[in-house]
Every structure is written in C-alpha cells, then in structure tokens.
Amino acid sequence: MNNTEKNENRFTFGVEGMTCASCVRIVERSLKKMDGVHFVSINLGTEKGYVITESNITFDDIKKKIDSTGYRALPDVPDTEKVEKDFRSARMRMIISIALFIPVTLLMMLHMGGLHIPWFPPVEFIAGAIAIFGPGRGIFKGAYIAARHTHANMDTLVATGALASWITAPLYISGMEISSFGSLSVMLVSIHLTGRYIESRLKFKASGEIRALLAMRPRSAFMIIEGETVEVPAENVSEGSVLIVRSGERIPLDGVITEGEGFIDESMITGEPRRVHRVTGQDVTGGTVLESGYIKFEVTRTGEDTFLARMIKLVEDAQSSSVPIQGFADRITGIFVPAVFILALLSGGSWIIFYDALHPYLQGLSLHLPWINADAGAVSTGVFVFIAVLVIACPCAMGLATPMALIAGSGLAAKNGLLIKNGEAMQQAGKIDIIFLDKTGTITSGTPQVVFTDLNEKQLQLISALESVSIHPVADAIKQYCKTEGIKPDSSVTEITEQAGEGISGTINGADIFIGRPSTPEKYSEQMSRGETVIEFREKGAVSGFISIADPVKKDSCEAVKGIKTLGITPIMLTGDSSKTAGAVAAITGIEKIISEVRPEQKLFEIQEYQKKGKSVGMVGDGINDAAALRAADLGIALGSGTDLSIESADIIITSGRLTAVSDAIKISRLTYRKIRQNLFWAFIYNIISIPAAVAGLLHPAIAEIAMILSSINVIINSMTIRK
C-alpha cells in the first residue's frame, strides 16, 4: 500500500519469512542503508513493514532490497484469508510432528528407564529424518536462506540443534562412542512447531480489532441507476452516485444524506454505543449501521479515501511501528545469535576437554536430575550441552515483546474511538508532565450561540444583513439565531465593510450602522464574567443595544480535566480568547492555570518555554489553528471532528471528539508501554537465567525448547491483558 504525502512516499506492506528479532533487524538495517529512506519500521508480530521515503523511491526498490536479504516483500499486508490459510498449514505441521513425537518420546523414556531397546537408534534416525524433511522443512529452509545471505536467525539455532541431535543417531549406529540423541531432533522440531502454532493463534486473536474493522467493509451497495435500484459491488461505486440504505443495513461508503432520516450506530467512530439521529444534509460514514429508518445519500468518498479505509491504515501503521525502548533490544539481538553460536561451541568444547575434571560434578547432578547421564562420555556430554545452549538462547520473546503489545494497545485504542498513530507516542505518553488545552472547540463546543439580546426585530434585520457577508464564528451564531427566530435580512443595507478584530459596518438610508467590539467593555463586565462575548450594535454612532454570545462548555470537559489531574498531569488552558472569558471557562472546568490572548504561533512559543524547563508537554487541540502547537509538543492530541482523520500534526486522534478520551488515550499508552517494559524484562531475565543453566549442563535440550516456547507465549499473553 502506497500513500504519497507532500514530497514523501509512505509504504505499508507485508514481509514474509521472518521468525525472530534478528530477522527484523536484518530487514530494517538493509532498508536504512538505502539512499532516500527516512524511516523504517518492521513488525514481527503482524509481519508488516512501514517505510517513509523520498518521492523518487518506489515499492519495487524496497522489494528488491528486502528480497536481497532472503526475506520476501509483499505489496499487500497479510489479509484474513492468508492468515487463516497459514493457521491451517501450521496446525497440520504440528499434528504430523506430534504424531512422531509421542511414540518416540515414550520409547526414549523406556530406554532411559533401563529397558534396553536395540532397535531404538534406527527408529530415532528414521523419525528424525521424517520430522526434519517433513513438517520441519520450513525451519531448515529459513536457516538455509539466512546462511546463504550470511546472517543467522532463530531458525538457524533450532535447525542446528535438531540437525546436531539427529546426526548422533547414525554415528552411534556406525559404532562411534557417542550417545544417540536422535529422538531430540523429533522433540525439538515438534515442540518448536507447536510453539509456532500457539504463537500464531495468539497473534491472530490479538489483532482481532483490525479484522473487525475489515469486516465492516460492505461488499455491495444498492445504487439508483436511471430510477432503478441495482445491487453493485461497493468497490465499483464512484463519487456522486446515489445509494439507498434500509433499516438494519450497513452503510457502504461515506456520503451526505439527500433524503430520509434514521438512527445510526456510529460506535466504530466514537467508541460509544449511543445511536445518533441523522437527517437530510448530514454526513454518514461507510461501515456504520442504519439501525432504523431509510436514507438516500450521495457518495462523497470511495476506496482508500473513505473514513474506514483511512482508519484501518492508521491502525496498521501504528501496529507496524516501534518504540524507542525497542532500540535497546534490537542492538542486543543484533549480536545475540552469533554470540550464542560461539558460546555453544565454547561450552560444548569445554565439556569435551575438561570432562574428566567435571565428572564428579556430573555424578552429583545425576542424583537430582534424571536426564543427566554421568557416564555418557566426553563427546556425548559436549554435544548435549551444545544443543541445549543453542535452543535455550533463541531470542523469540525479545522479538515479540514490542510488536505484540503495540498490536493489543492500538487495537484497544481503535475500539474506543482513539487512533494512536505511532509507537513512539505510546512511550512518550508515560512521561507527560503538562497538558495544554485549547479552549474553543476543545474545552468548549466550538459553536458560539446567542444567549441574550435586547435588540428589536428591525435592528436584528439590519444586523442579519450586515453579518450575511461574514464567515466569522460570531457572525454564524447571529445568523443562526436570526434564522431560528424567523428574522430575514434587510436588503437595504449597503457599503458593508468588515474590520478584522473590530466588527462590521454598513450604511442604511445614509446613516452608518455598526456591530462589533464594545466601545466601553467595562459596561458589560457582568456578561463577560460569565465567559460571554458581547457584540455591541451602534446606529449613527450611538449605542442601541447588544447581543451576548457564549461558546458553551462541553458536557464532559469538567470530567476530562479531573481525569487529567488524576493521572498526575497539570492541565493548562492555552487560548487566544480574552482573559475574562478564559477565566470563566476555567472556573467551570477546574483548570487553575490560564495563558490567554495568544495567537496560534504564540502557542508554539509557550510550549517551547516549558520544554526548556525540562518538562514533557502534551497539547490538545482541534487540529486546525493548533497545528504548529500540536507538532511542537512532545505529544500532540487532536480532537477529530467526526470522520476527520487528516490531522497530520497529531500523534493521537480522538475520532469521537470526547475530551474525556484524552485521559483514556494516556492510560492506554501508559499501559501499553508498561507491558512492553515488562515483556522485555522477562525476556532478558529468561535468557540471563537459562543460558548459564544450559552451559552448566543442567538443562535437557527438550526442556530448554519448552522453556523457550513458554517464554514467547508468556510475552503474548501478557500483551493481550491490555485488552482487559
């Protein structure tokens, strides 16, 4: 998928063949070396890539680079059908391997228990060959591809361990003084494939929100063609077409109602179960459900331009991104696999060389650990330790630590009407000290309303005519009030002139009239103390009356401010309005600090001043005149207006417009980041504890493989608790 923005290309695509963090690092490193590539993020959990490049870079260039590493770039991200197909294939490989694993393991336990089975080594050899070249061939294919491109990955470690185990069987049969570990090859392959299947099941479950969004895409639409209603594929509908939707049906595409009305379930946008009443002239969104009613609407957006498509794209991008803390893990995994090989060789070699000196230690271990054979011999013990170190050190959990948490976190956010656009925002949200809140459109509704006037009908007719040419929000409030009261403009007003920041004037019968800023503001101190804006009307220079306008505070603003404070964050109002109006709104909502009468560009400077003091700053705005401030802040949160996802300056978009969702966004971000840290901690602790145990000869290779799989599953399950 390719999205061009300004002079940049943004690509979201699939990457096939990755199995661990080392694979991810190799792909990312190769892409970062390309000229013109600005940003690269490869996600192991979703098998997706996200790349930002200069406009001259194409997907073919990216594909060639990825293919050269041994992995394969796909133009489209994995869809539901492919994921389900992979599940079935993984399940079949697991079933075949377990069918080999169970009888071989039972025979091995009998053999180790003292029941000598002379034909057991040939059985180990044959079963191992079937496991390696049958269900396990994908592991060895991955290891071969990595070796051919001079790097190593998780498949390399497992394949080497399984192959080394299997080779001991024919060596033993040929008469060499070495124990046969051929059954371990079957066990390693089987346990590894079982773990892969469980991982894929859990990853599929964790990414359920994306599939839920995709399921909202209607496949067909009922279009009116020459007066007839015809069912057509939704992808074939063009802008300007007229569609009909009946009660209980899903709205196919974005558009504007031209006829009818109904109650629509818009929970996919807002995250709230409320049903919204939509009438002629109002927007509808593809993917929402008309629960009752009947509407005709004209299509305004199709294909990748629809709200649902853009929402899916943003969630996929977020799930494909990474967080700064992951860089530490990536640097370690970059040298991890080669280091494990060296450590395995040194450990195995040391046991062979110093076997006689370590033999008493082995005898002591054998009294407590039934899988320790103190009399196996130097070579057998060395091979045993070599295999155990290779298997136990697989960095699967490290590679899954970040992507699985991001999948769960961004999915939960989308379900609640929040779009967290990148992984870095998840990390940054946990550090926020201060949040600046824009007033108009953020704390207040952004739609001024007339609350009082002492003017008569004739005067309001003149004012309506004056304001008819203005697009100022105050003018809109006056026009809406006049329309509601049935007052029509007086067409006799001429020479209308608007003065920015002052008001608007005109002439009627040779006399000047004006409406705008009061000449003596202190006269209206009572109204202003309530946060109202006073517009004064003057005829022939004399004051004739006034109109009082207020921008009502949103119903959830008080709760939102309280929620922000509960998180230990200081809310500050940042507005271009007067200090009196701002103070009145602050008093209602509980905001204690106000910065008022600032222009849009000055908001940016105020944010920077706090950043200079070492504070981590968030900014919440409507994404229009707050764009510079949103970009300057450490965390930009934009309140989207319904289906507006074009707010590029923000890190987090609240599609419902709920101010209370600000604290929800921060909570989800903090929780996700905390889970990432937990995942990385346990992944590292696992390796720190288990690798020395394997080097010391304490771990059976099969136990090491099970422990490695459990570590990865623990990371996935811990990530999935975010959704609860």
Active site residues: 438
* Angle (deg, nearest 10), helices 701-720 and 396-415: 20
Question: Could you tell me the two tokens for 260?
Answer: 């009818």
Q: Is 206 helix (H, G, I), strand (E, B) or coil?
A: helix
Contact (Cβ atoms closer than 8 angstroms) between residue 489 and residue 464 = yes
Beta bridge partner(s), residue 284: 255
Question: Could you tell me the two tokens for 184?
Answer: 């371990």
Enter the DSSP assignment of 403.
Answer: H
Interatomic CA distance for residues 163 and 160, integer angstroms:
5
Q: Where are the beta strands (DSSP E) in 528-656?
A: 533-539, 542-550, 570-574, 593-595, 617-621, 635-639, 652-654
Interatomic CA distance for residues 139 and 250, integer angstroms:
44
Q: How far is CA 171 from CA 226, 373, 477, 632, in A?
A: 81, 18, 90, 67
Which residues fall within 8 angstroms of residue 723, CB to CB, at 6 or more apart? 206, 408, 411, 412
Interatomic CA distance for residues 640 and 419, integer angstroms:
10
Contact (Cβ atoms closer than 8 angstroms) between residue 237 and residue 221 = yes
Interatomic CA distance for residues 164 and 160, integer angstroms:
6
Report which residue type is found at 526: E
Q: Which residues of 271-288 are buried (b: 16+ CB within 10 A; e: fewer)?
A: beeebbebeeeeebbbbb
Q: Which residues of 645-654 are buried (b: 16+ CB within 10 A; e: fewer)?
A: bebebbbbbb
Enter the DSSP assignment of 721.
Answer: G
